[in-house]
Amino acid sequence: MKAEILAVGTELLMGQIANTNAQYISSRLPDAGIGVYFHDVVGDNPERLRQSFSLALSRSDVIILTGGLGPTQDDITKETVSEVLGRKLVLDRESVEQLEEFFRKRNRKMTRNNLKQAYFPEGCRIIRNRNGTAPGCIIEEEGRTIVLLPGPPSELKPMFEETVMPYLASKADHRLESVYVRIFGIGEAEVETALMDLIDGQTNPTIASYAKDGEVMLRITARYQKDGTGTGLIGPMVDEIRKRLGDAVFSTDNSSLAEVAAKLLMEKKMTISLAESCTGGLLAAKLTDIPGISAVFDRSAVTYSNRAKVEELGVRQETLEKYGAVSEQTASEMAIGIRNVSGTDLGVSVTGIAGPGGGTDEKPVGLVFTALAHKDGVIVKRLDLTGDRARIRNLTCLHVFDMVRRHLLSIGK
């Protein structure tokens, strides 16, 4: 089946945002055995949307429209699609109730134009929206499947995953199964060299590698029949890759380093607390992004000022004066300090220079020290990172989660 993704929104044509919805949907559809052949973007203009949608109908089996489902006058997707298909827009009672509920919950008054969002093309299947006011819908028209989804990614993604993917997968004749092998600590070139024969030799499954903010990801994709014949091709390939790359492989179920570290903490019932300087809470934010983490995560002290480091963590004034806030010694005392204060099994600390300012010749932007205090001692690691503030903070988090992961694996043995 050929799919086309038609995004509606002048904000895309003005360059205010990139069309990440098309990227997201395109990355998922192959898992339903569907190939994407075209992306289009049009503004909030009925005539041009009519043209583009008609063209899509003439050349694609699956047409996914994103955006233009809001309550305002320039939200025209449902209206234009209905017109082209010659269908009436009919009011959906349940949607009205959910809209009223949505506004009641927020103590906000529902204006008349919100009602617009409760009208749908006759005979469509409505997709509920848990995260916003605009429901989506699926229309079957002469062998074509037309899907309407709202523009905000936080609304589109769950609707796509929970309703659209299963719906489309059930129609396809074959499946593509992908497994992501995620790797941290070695570069893409090194990974490719180690796997060259596998990457070249394979047709099913295929292996594609790409580098992604500090880690390397391998996508292993196998094609099999809907009835299941041809399955089981991926497992042996993953085992072979693990054998060659060892501990550098941190997940094969697409979970992140943070999720892997968190899972190990929960499995081993090891409690943890953090002391953050340059990451400024990002480490705690990423860890507490994971449901259930409260069972092992006690606290994080985001100690930006030296005073806070001394007061909250018991870092010694002399240490700060002699070695500076960004030093092996301070990182070590921060980790030991937060572990003592909170009484957790592990205490982890970060101190560094994220930039853009604050760098010197002997302590440049990108210099970061991170430490892990455990019952038998403390591990300190020096990182020399490059890039802008956001990249340095993100890479630091990856290194910290990897340090925790490797420590927990080592004591597991």
Hey, which residues between 333 and 372 contact a second copy (CB under 8 A)?
341-342, 355-357
* C-beta closer to a second copy: residue 15 or 86: 15
Identify the bridge partners of residue 274 per DSSP, sorted by sequence position.
Answer: 300, 348
Q: Does 58 bind a second copy (CB under 8 A)?
A: no
Contact call for residues 56 and 38 (beta carbons, < 8 A)? yes
Q: What is the DSSP letter of 109?
A: P
Q: For residues 109 and 95, what is the distance between their CA atoms, to the nearest angstrom?
A: 16
Identify the bridge partners of residue 220 per DSSP, sorted by sequence position.
Answer: 179, 207
Q: For residues 185 and 187, what is the distance between their CA atoms, to the nearest angstrom?
A: 7
Q: Which of 199, 266, 270, 380 binds a second copy (CB under 8 A)?
A: 199
Q: Does 102 bind a second copy (CB under 8 A)?
A: yes
* C-beta closer to a second copy: residue 87 or 255: 255
> Could you say which residues in the range 226-285 bind a second copy, by CB under 8 A?
274, 276, 279-285
Q: Taking CB under 8 A as the rule, which mask of x and - marks residues 158-177 in contact with a second copy?
A: x-------------------
> Could you say which residues in the range 36-55 bind a second copy, by CB under 8 A?
36-44, 48, 52, 55
Contact call for residues 100 and 110 (beta carbons, < 8 A)? yes
Q: Does 210 bind a second copy (CB under 8 A)?
A: yes
Q: Which two tokens stand for residue 105?
A: 């919950």
Q: Which two tokens stand for residue 22?
A: 């098309």
Which range in 11-19, 85-93, 163-171, 259-267 contacts a second copy by CB under 8 A? 11-19
Nearest one of 53, 67, 29 to 167, comparing CA atoms:
29
Q: Which of 90, 91, 390, 411 binds a second copy (CB under 8 A)?
A: 390
Q: For residues 135 and 69, what is the distance between their CA atoms, to the nearest angstrom?
A: 8
* C-beta closer to a second copy: residue 87 or 219: 219
As measured in angstroms, the least distance from the Cβ of 413 to a second copy is 26
Instruction: Look at residue 280 and give its three-state secondary structure.
Output: coil
Q: For residues 294 and 262, what is the distance between their CA atoms, to the nearest angstrom?
A: 10
* C-beta closer to a second copy: residue 371 or 395: 395
How distant is the alpha carbon of residue 222 from its chain centre?
23
Q: Does 20 bind a second copy (CB under 8 A)?
A: yes
> Could you say which residues in the range 295-334 bind a second copy, by CB under 8 A?
297-305, 307-308, 311-312
Q: Does 25 bind a second copy (CB under 8 A)?
A: yes
Q: What is the DSSP letter of 258?
A: H
Q: Does 203 bind a second copy (CB under 8 A)?
A: no
Q: For residues 296 and 322, what is the distance between their CA atoms, to the nearest angstrom?
A: 35
Which range in 85-93, 186-194, 261-269, 399-407 contacts a second copy by CB under 8 A? 186-194
